[in-house]
Amino acid sequence: MTKIHLLMKKEEMNQQKLSGNKTVVVFDILLATSTITATLEFGAKEVIPVLNGKEAVEISEGIKNNEAILIGEYNGATLDGFHSPNPLALRSVVNKKTIILSTTNGTIALKNAQAAKKVYAASILNSKSVVNHIRQTYDDETIILVCAGSFGHFNIEDFYGAGYFIDCLLSESIQLEMTDSSLAALHFYRSFKEKEIEILAESRVGKMMVNYGFEAELHFVSQKSIFNVVPMMENGKRIVDVKLSEKTAF
């Protein structure tokens, strides 16, 4: 039976408890993990999550031939000299590029999860694919779902995304031993299963996106499992589509 636990915000992560036979799945639905999913689907070579804009610029200076693209925001505002992380604006610019991504919460959550055996970035866009990969490669790990949250606060859209992910696990006939937090996320998702757009739009970040005129992006990231990419951390530094990596290894 697979043990599954859910953390309501990234600040609840404990490095010692993450080490060992743990798989971490990070959710930042608005927007980091949705952006990672989309850019890999759009042909990006890899995504390097960073803690801040300064680190992003330093890493980009070591990448030759303009192969790196800086994408970032802080508290919803696009960083100077960076592309916005809104996925629809990135479709035409990320193919075969290295993405260096800095966000307020999601990339920090991913960086802080490095002690785990495996780290995935999941979103509403690709949950089924990540679930399928975990099922195929499962080795008795405890699965820890991390809702990134925002500045130490709970974000309802991440909770909804995690609940959808758990529902996908159960749809694969995976037997789960759930903590109360993961069970709560599952019941919340199932109670609002057909209201994903409303949940996202009524969230704090969703309202901000609507006010900035990004309704189309909100609708885009609410689509369930339309992409097959499986974003997985490699060597604690970069995120690649592990399915593509497996294909090119043969």
Give the model's pLDDT for residue 247: 60
Domain range for 63: 2-240
Which pLDDT band, with edges at 50, 70 and 90, does 248 fall under? Answer: low
Give the model's pLDDT for residue 245: 66
In a domain, 245, yes or no: no
The mean pLDDT of 148-169, rounded to a whole number, is: 98
Residue type, 38: A
Give the model's pLDDT for residue 65: 84
pLDDT in tens, 189-210: 999 999 999 999 999 999 999 9
d(CA 178, CA 80) in angstroms, rounded, equals: 43
% of the chain with per-residue pLDDT over 90: 92
% of the chain with per-residue pLDDT over 70: 98
CATH number at residue 158: 3.90.1560.10
pLDDT at 250 over 60: no
Q: In what order do the strands lie in the sheet with 231-234?
A: 77-78, 68-74, 98-102, 46-50, 238-241, 231-234, 118-122, 22-27, 142-147, 2-7, 176-178
In a domain, 147, yes or no: yes
Phi, psi of 201, rounded to the nearest 5 degrees = -70, -30
pLDDT in tens, 47-76: 999 999 999 999 999 998 889 999 999 999
- The DSSP secondary-structure symbol of 150 reads B
What's the distance, CA 84 to chain centroid?
16
Give me 153's structure tokens.
């606060």
Give the model's pLDDT for residue 174: 85
d(CA 166, CA 18) in angstroms, rounded, equals: 19
In a domain, 248, yes or no: no
* Average pLDDT of the chain to the nearest whole number: 96
From the list 142, 177, 176, 146, the residue with the least C-alpha distance to 161 is: 146
In a domain, 25, yes or no: yes
In a domain, 234, yes or no: yes
User: 31 preceded by cis ω (within 30°)?
Assistant: yes
In a domain, 159, yes or no: yes
Length of the chain: 250
Which pLDDT band, with edges at 50, 70 and 90, does 246 fall under? Answer: low
Q: What is the pTM of this model?
A: 0.96
Give me 111's structure tokens.
């960086």
Give the model's pLDDT for residue 121: 99
Count how many domains the chain has: 1
In a domain, 86, yes or no: yes
Spatial contact of 4 and 143, defined as CB atoms under 8 Å apart: yes
Phi, psi of 244, rounded to the nearest 5 degrees = -70, -40
Residue 207, sorted as left (phi over 0), alpha (psi -120 to 50) or beta, turns out to be: alpha
Which pLDDT band, with edges at 50, 70 and 90, does 243 fall under? Answer: confident
In a domain, 233, yes or no: yes
Helices 156-171 and 127-137 cross at an angle (nearest 10°) of 50
Give the model's pLDDT for residue 59: 97
d(CA 226, CA 127) in angstroms, rounded, equals: 9
pLDDT in tens, 96-140: 999 999 999 999 999 999 999 999 999 999 999 999 999 999 989
